[in-house]
Structure 1
Amino acid sequence: MTLHLYAHRLSQPSRAVEILLRELDMSYTWHEVDFANGETREPWFAKDINALQTIPALVVSAESATDDKTEAGIGESHAIMRYLCRVAPDRDHAARWYPAEDALSSAQVNLWMAWHHNNVRAYDMFHDIMNLHLTLPMLKYELQETALKPLQDGLRGGLATLEQHLEKHATSEPTLCGSAHPTLADLTIACELYQIVAVGYRFTRFPNIARWLDNIARRPHFQDVSQEIVEQGRTIREQSGGYLDLDKAFA
């Protein structure tokens, strides 16, 4: 089985999938997709890679042409990550990330991954942060007020829920499902929130989230895959940070 990952490291779900591939020690071929300039809408991508026209996308090639299905494509990061945990060579290690054989434990992971869509992902600020970074100075404050502030306000509700939940697992290295090892739920939401931490936002009002995110972000594979977003965040902070509500947004 050969894995081909079509993704971009400025995409939160793309990073989550790539980090998991590395955590599971699964070899893959990397294909960078310029999603910002519409490459996912190109006919070759929509036809041969992912009909949903989104990244990340995983193409699985069988080892031989005699197999029933020589190639298959998978879209949506959650589906990809669950698949990887089911086919990873090290089954015990994969089960720490996604306990597929334990119905109750896997349901808890699924719960937080489903919750992620409407409570964290829905308030993704990075697209608007990039717009602010690239726009004329005279429009930057307007974008902060009209585009970014509503997303910040919306995200606070999800952050409050996470903070309260993590307080129940107030250990030195908390996880969303209370286990000693992080799960796909931790990885999914951590990649989402780290996107704005890289720019310079801090979760001062949410100390349990800050501690949990810091623990996940210290993992070596997380750091390696996040280098591009850290560099992009530094550039934005240095050039447009004065227009962003970095200190007060989540204080």
Structure 2
Amino acid sequence: MPTTLYAHRLSQPSRAVEILTRELGIEVNFQDIDFAGGETRTEWFAAINPFQTVPALVVESDGQRLPLAESQAIMTYLCRTASDRELAQRWYPGEHDVSRSARIDQWLAWHHGNVRRFDMFHHIMNLHMTLPMLKREIQATLLQPLQEGLRPELATLEGHFKRQQASAYPPTLLGDKYPTIADLAMGCELYQLRAAGYRFDGYPRVAAWLAGLAEREHFRAVSKEIDAQGREIREQSGEYLALDTFG
């Protein structure tokens, strides 16, 4: 069945969905959407996704067309419909294991209301692209409050991994051998900051968890563009990001 993923690889939720499609062996037609240039606000895109955000997925089958928005809804759908049921259920078991699904849902909900709310990458991009005379102001007035807001959430994650005392290493959110879609959602969010140069030195278990995700083949492949963007930011604007005071 033809499946089109409308996304952008500098978007954390977009990368999470694309990584999952690769992990599950789902072939998609990837259509890059210039969300920074306003493409999500066009009429044609609003007809696909009324929320006008990326990612969006369109599945066509037997004359029916299913448009889906919101990365978490897309990922649970993909896991429920993937042909490799055993593999998909590792990422999200759905009704096959309701208790495990509930634990994944718990972390997805927490991520969206906590870690995701402190997304600062667009401010980092603004700092990187603006005149030097304005960089300190962006750091002080926009980035610093988000950095401070994220600290308690990182401490929550660090404490969670510490209490697991699991044999699996690197750690996963559920403390078992396999990452889930919750690991992908939150991992892509925080990896964006790691790419820009944040080291998470004060949160070694969070850093180990991120490193474990980053070692996965499809995570590496889909992250190449954010790695390149992060490298440019570090080289040209890193001194303005107060990296030594974060993590």
Query: Which of the residues 143, 153, 157 maps onto 1:158?
Result: 153
Gaps of 5+ in 2: none
Query: Residue 228 of structure 1 corresponds to which residue in structure 2?
Result: 225
C-alpha displacement at 1:103, in angstroms? 1.1
> Is the CA contact (8 Å cut-off) linking 1:119 and 1:157 kept in structure 2?
no
Which ranges of 4 or more aligned residues in structure 1 deviate by more than 3 Å? none
1:8 aligns with 2:8: yes
C-alpha displacement at 1:243, in angstroms? 0.8
Query: Residue 57 of structure 2 corresponds to which residue in structure 1?
Result: 58
Q: Distance in 1 between matches of 2:184 and 2:126?
A: 26
Query: Residue 185 of structure 1 corresponds to which residue in structure 2?
Result: 182
> Is the CA contact (8 Å cut-off) linking 1:163 and 1:209 kept in structure 2?
yes
The alignment partner of 1:31 has SS state of: strand
Counterpart code for 2:30 = W
> Is the CA contact (8 Å cut-off) linking 1:169 and 1:175 kept in structure 2?
no
Query: Which of the residues 117, 133, 136 maps onto 1:138?
Result: 133
Counterpart code for 1:245 = A
C-alpha displacement at 1:247, in angstroms? 2.2
Q: Distance in 2 between matches of 1:244 and 1:164?
A: 26
Question: For this pair of structures, how many residues does the alignment match?
Answer: 244
The alignment partner of 1:6 has SS state of: strand
What are the superposed Cα offsets for residues 104-154 of structure 1, whole Å, 9 maximum, x if unpaired?
110000000000012111000101000100111011011111100000000
Q: Distance in 2 between matches of 1:17 and 1:104?
A: 23
Q: Distance in 1 between matches of 2:3 and 2:150?
A: 34
Q: Distance in 1 between matches of 2:57 and 2:85?
A: 20
Task: Provide the aligned C-alpha RMSD in A.
Answer: 0.8
C-alpha displacement at 1:169, in angstroms? 2.5
What are the superposed Cα offsets for residues 214-238 of structure 1, whole Å, 9 maximum, x if unpaired?
0011100000000000000011111
Percent of aligned pairs sharing the same letter: 58
Query: Which of the residues 213, 219, 235 maps onto 2:216?
Result: 219
TM-score by length of 2: 0.97
Query: Residue 91 of structure 2 corresponds to which residue in structure 1?
Result: 97
Counterpart code for 1:187 = L
Structure 1 window deviating more from structure 2 (96-105 vs 217-226): it is 96-105
Counterpart code for 1:246 = L
The alignment partner of 1:73 has SS state of: strand
Query: Which of the residues 118, 122, 134 maps onto 1:123?
Result: 118
Query: Which of the residues 203, 206, 214 maps onto 1:206?
Result: 203
Q: Distance in 2 between matches of 1:90 and 1:96?
A: 10
After superposition, where does 1:31-70 map in structure 2 within 5 Å?
31-47=31-47, 49-62=48-61, 64-65=62-63, 70=64
The alignment partner of 2:245 has SS state of: coil
The alignment partner of 1:58 has SS state of: strand
Q: Distance in 1 between matches of 2:108 and 2:239?
A: 34
Q: Distance in 1 between matches of 2:211 and 2:27?
A: 27
